Amino acid sequence: MSTALLTDRYELTMLDAALRSGHAERRCMFETFARRLPQGRRYGVFAGGGRLLDAIEQFRFGDEELEWLRQERVVHDDTLEWLANYRFSGSIRAYREGEVYFPGSPVLEVEASFAEGVLLETLILSVLNYDTAIATAAARMVSAAAGRPLAEMGSRRVGERSAVAAARAAYIAGFGATSNLEAGRSWGVPTMGTAAHSFTLLYDSEREAFSAQLDAMGAGTTLLVDTFDVARAIDLAVELAGPELGAVRLDSGDLPVLVHEVRRQLDSLGATGTHITVTNDLDEYAISTLAAAPVDSYGVGTSLVTGSGSPAAGMVYKLVAHTDGDGWVPVGKRSAGKASVAGRKDAVRELSSGRARAEIVHVESDPEASVGRLLQVPLVVDGEIDEQWRGPAGVQAAREHRAMAVAELPRDAFRLSQGDPAIPTVYR
Amino acid sequence: MSTALLTDRYELTMLDAALRSGHAERRCMFETFARRLPQGRRYGVFAGGGRLLDAIEQFRFGDEELEWLRQERVVHDDTLEWLANYRFSGSIRAYREGEVYFPGSPVLEVEASFAEGVLLETLILSVLNYDTAIATAAARMVSAAAGRPLAEMGSRRVGERSAVAAARAAYIAGFGATSNLEAGRSWGVPTMGTAAHSFTLLYDSEREAFSAQLDAMGAGTTLLVDTFDVARAIDLAVELAGPELGAVRLDSGDLPVLVHEVRRQLDSLGATGTHITVTNDLDEYAISTLAAAPVDSYGVGTSLVTGSGSPAAGMVYKLVAHTDGDGWVPVGKRSAGKASVAGRKDAVRELSSGRARAEIVHVESDPEASVGRLLQVPLVVDGEIDEQWRGPAGVQAAREHRAMAVAELPRDAFRLSQGDPAIPTVYR
């Protein structure tokens, strides 16, 4: 399925004008970065890189796309011919998925002709802005959960394809599972889930419903116990499943109080190994207030897939340099409040005793002059996609990289309150 | 492309258990509704219905989906056979797209076997929660713009497929155009856009850039004038294009002040017919503060596609009745703070002198007893989709219906401040 029309019209009209003026083949450097982190957060988690590679591969103009563009007169006919042969032949360098980032971090750089680079702007930003917003929110929830497992279950609260991306981003950021089956199939994210209230209501009694679920899924399943009366449901659950019952799920009520009551009741029934999972409108703050409660795992929906208040990461895609025959010429706009830093950039995470100290952005200067970790890796070289970043293997690598990168951050980075970025961005 | 795995795992495990217990074929009524409107808004705009019909048609389990489910042992083998033959054969009744809704409005009802109905839960909610959130936010921006045209241009701030849905929902809610090409192709939404800052930066001077754009797009184009210095760019723009210049775009700065200056400058240059379009981080509040400024049109991005603070509409999908052989039995959960109203519902917009007075929800009672407009229409009857709600024609009809339904609302509905729903919901 082509992704070529998942694009703003102006990318094509700019191409059209540049082709006519003879500037379309000028070599250009486009940079993706965020001017700030979402609402006072202390670090961001970069995500979407692997997913973007699939989208770029599918960015081809087939007969249907070209015919529609012709009918709508979006561009001139010679531009349509150019589009028919389009295949990205440039290079892309980016932060690894799962890497943390800060204001001004050059998270993704496209080096290509203006024509090839400008066409990808919308698609690159759509993928990175959403996936990064989710990974950034998810990482805070993972911190707040302090080692307890988290499951993503927000598919129903976001567009049906974004739901898959959200599950993938949350997994990279440290969630352990998702409810979303497509995320399981496409990206290897472990899937979970047992039953909803409608299942209990289908039957003439809660007893019948629990029995049916236990029959199909075994005693290790998770029973949803808040359809009618929690205490009675728990009595019934342990009566039917025995103390081997895997878990009970609470999806309503005053959780910090309720969870203690449920734990006591389960223990008094001998179900000391039965877990308690909670899923009621959680976000990082609600998770944090449950730290002292005997919760075994969390399910997070709405607040995760909507970025917990910041549903888009605010990344932009800017032309920072082009060639004029003699070499690269840095360029940048001076728009009020939106100026960009011109020039090619290399980024280094400055480390001291393994702890991150600064985000060093070298502008047209040698990154080897800084001590630390080089942050950019090649994703595409002259049109050839590096396969290591793709598919489930890429997701797994990103998850591991995120754990490493987050572990380098100073302690202050994990405070939930609003504040400055955990480390400063320094241009050199 | 199958949509079958854009689904929470528990829909399939519930199906599995219900098939084993013999309850899967029980006739059920599922209802979609929102317990409240997003954050103090006074009305919602229902959207997504037509898009949902495509997604339901594509909800089929092919060999690839079944093989993955088998490998993962999500369900038993006999359930896989059942899924292989799945095709929705039930009925769906819903509010028309573009209809306004209130807390408790039964916006979409699925009547089917438990098996067939439960499987669609996640997909239905994903589509309706996103599209409705966008249409609801968009409608407020349309009110705030007070007749001036609005263009949706937020594709880069939301997942790449949700971007298409956002453009569609905004158009239904009264926006006039979108930057998103796929929304143009798939849904007939008019597309727009000319150039970004990168286009100006590609050239060795703003003069060259403007000349190239005018050469390709003609004097009627929109020139972006804030890359370096607005006043100089406007002088240049009118010098090159003449007073026939279509429009100038401002994407930064203190707009309420700047727009007046730009208008004066354009007029002084004789470009009295040249329009001013503004696109700098607008939402309904910023649009409202520009009411007295000589703006000709607005472009809205981030705040639109993220629902201006409410990126999900909060709709839920609940089992409200099932048959027991003698007829329908109302059912509902009693979970703390999340109780649902049991039973089949018919909705009427009570009208007096053409003005909406109340949302009457008849619960197992005759809707003919209320005076007003019946709100539900059949989308699917015994598995047959009604074609009139689909494709570009469906979108156009939804846009017109929205204009009618919004015009019925009391004046208070259009205040931007938080408040109660514009009309009460009354159960009868």
User: What are B357-366's pLDDT values in tens digits?
Assistant: 999 999 989 9
B146-304 topology per CATH: TIM Barrel (3.20.20)
- In this structure, which amino acid lies at residue B380? V
Which helix (H) or strand (E) segment holds residue B287: the answer is helix B284-289
Whether residue B39 is predicted with pLDDT greater than 90 in this model: the reply is: no
In tens, the pLDDT along B320-343 reads 999 987 889 999 877 777 777 899
Interface contact A158, partner B, CB < 8 A:
yes
Which pLDDT value is given to residue B282?
96
Mean pLDDT, residues B171-182: 98
Mean pLDDT, residues A282-300: 97
Interface contact B118, partner A, CB < 8 A:
yes
Burial of B113 per CB tally in 10 Å (0-12, 13-18, 19+): buried
**Is 2.60.40.1180 the CATH number for A9-134+310-427?**
no
**Spatial CB neighbours of B384, under 8 Å, sequence gap ≥ 6:** none
Interface contact B78, partner A, CB < 8 A:
no
Which pLDDT value is given to residue A356?
98
3-state secondary structure of A152: strand
CATH number attached to the domain at A142-309: 3.20.20.70
Which pLDDT value is given to residue A95?
98
Residue among B160, B101, B149, B125 at smallest CA distance from B356:
B101
Number of H helices, E strands in chain B: 15, 19
Chain B residue closest in CA terms to A165: B159
Which pLDDT value is given to residue A336?
74
**B305 and A312: CB-CB below 8 Å?**
yes
**A10 and B193: CB-CB below 8 Å?**
yes
- Residues from chain A contacting residue B254 (CB–CB below 8 Å): 336
Residue A89 to residue A80: CA distance in whole angstroms: 18
Residue among B237, B295, B287 at smallest CA distance from B263:
B295
In tens, the pLDDT along A146-175 reads 999 999 999 999 999 999 999 999 999 999
**A:18-57 residues touching chain B, CB 8 A cutoff:** 18, 20-21, 23, 26, 28, 30, 55
- Residues from chain A contacting residue B213 (CB–CB below 8 Å): 17
Residue with tokens 């931007």: B416
Which pLDDT value is given to residue A40?
85
CATH number attached to the domain at B9-134+310-421: 3.20.140.10
- Residues from chain A contacting residue B199 (CB–CB below 8 Å): 14, 17-18, 118
What's chain A's average pLDDT? 96
Structure tokens at B48: 């997504």
Which pLDDT value is given to residue B45?
98
Identify the residue with better confidence: A325 or A251. A251
Domain ranges of chain B: 9-134+310-421, 146-304
Above 0.85 for ipTM, yes or no?
yes
- Indicate if the alpha-carbon torsion angle B390, B396, B399, B401 is positive or negative: negative
**B:178-207 residues touching chain A, CB 8 A cutoff:** 179-182, 184-185, 191-204
Residue among B316, B322, B321, B319 at smallest CA distance from B337:
B316
- Residues from chain B contacting residue A125 (CB–CB below 8 Å): 156-157
In tens, the pLDDT along A65-87 reads 999 999 999 999 999 999 999 99
